[in-house]
Amino acid sequence: MFCTIINDCKDANAFGRQSTRVASLLSCPVTPIGVSSDIEAAGNLIDALDASEGREGFVLVNVAPRNGASKKWGNGSPFALFSYHNTQIISSIEGYTLSLVKKLLPQTQLHIISFEKIVSLFSDLDEASKIRITTTQFRSFEFLPRIAYLLAESVIDIPTVPIEWDAIHDIPPTIWWVDNFGNCKTTLTNQDIDIKTTKTISFPFGELPFYPRLKDVPDNTPACVIGSSGINNTRFLEIVVQGGSATQTLNIGIRTRL
């Protein structure tokens, strides 16, 4: 079994506490992925599911600011529960976090976890601890690992309410990640174009030649290619500069609309 944590609480203290809590409860390897936005979380969630290939384990996702529009939820975004084969995902639903799952895995059944009901069922905690957890600012540490533990041990039925995927935002055409080479992973996929006939792709910053593989891009040339990220046979398009940085050359980055 494995557990991957995708979270915007990504400093050493926050990830150290989350990883220790998960490892102590589940006795499994933990991989943290730090993100800064829901768009980044959306792409990394797809990549984590692709990497697991649906094997037994958990992906715990929380990108849930409490300011602005998020105040409507009280103490942050609700959490959804769903599965990809034998991988179970617990994720905040605010913003675009689940939008790429909606686009690429639409048959998945989605359920909202009843936060107050489940906390009341944490039998190993005293009443004071249960009250503290219901109001905690660090739900990724206090709440998500315990839900994963209950699921792993099949201790109780998790109280949930079904939710339709229509409630999740559609993903816009944008960049969700910039890797260490300056390549820009987009929310567009090889399914959004005809790879046999497409020669160029138009973007707000200009028209780029399309090549199916990175190796075919001429040196120092900006282009669009089929990247390695994605799931099954659906792969995200990437904007690249062969031998250079697309983000620097084209002045683009995460959330640049396409």
Name the CA radius of gyration of the chain, rounded: 20
pLDDT of residue 155: 67
What's the CA gap between 76 and 92, in Å, rounded?
A: 9
What's the CA gap between 94 and 78, in Å, rounded?
A: 8
State which amino acid sits at residue 238: E
**Measuring CA to CA, which residue among 32, 141, 158, 39 is closest to residue 88?**
158
Both ends of the chain: CA-CA distance in Å? Answer: 38
What's the CA gap between 30 and 144, in Å, rounded?
A: 14
pLDDT of residue 87: 97
The gap from C-alpha 172 to its chain's centroid, in whole angstroms, comes to: 15
2-167 against 175-249: fold identical: no
What's the CA gap between 165 and 95, in Å, rounded?
A: 13
Contact 7, 15 (CB under 8 A): yes
pLDDT of residue 137: 74
Contact 171, 185 (CB under 8 A): no
Spatial strand order in the sheet of 30-34:
30-34, 2-7, 57-62, 87-92, 79-84, 111-113, 160-162
pLDDT of residue 31: 97
Residue 183 has a CB neighbour count (10 Å cut-off) of: 21
258 residues of the chain, pLDDT tens digit each: 999 999 999 999 999 999 999 999 999 999 999 999 999 999 999 999 999 999 999 999 999 754 455 545 455 678 999 999 999 999 999 899 999 999 999 778 899 887 777 776 676 766 767 667 666 778 888 889 988 988 898 867 788 889 999 999 999 999 999 999 999 999 999 999 988 899 999 999 999 999 999 999 999 999 999 999 999 999 999 999 999 999 999 999 999 999
The gap from C-alpha 111 to its chain's centroid, in whole angstroms, comes to: 17
pLDDT of residue 83: 94
Question: What is the helix, strand, coil percentage profile of the chain, to 5?
Answer: 30, 30, 40
pTM score, whole prediction: 0.91
Instruction: Give the start-to-end residue ranges of the domains of the chain.
Output: 2-167, 175-249
Q: Does the domain at residues 2-167 carry the CATH identifier 3.40.50.10790?
A: yes
Pick the CATH number of 175-249 from 1.10.730.10, 2.40.30.90, 3.40.710.10, 3.30.420.10: 2.40.30.90
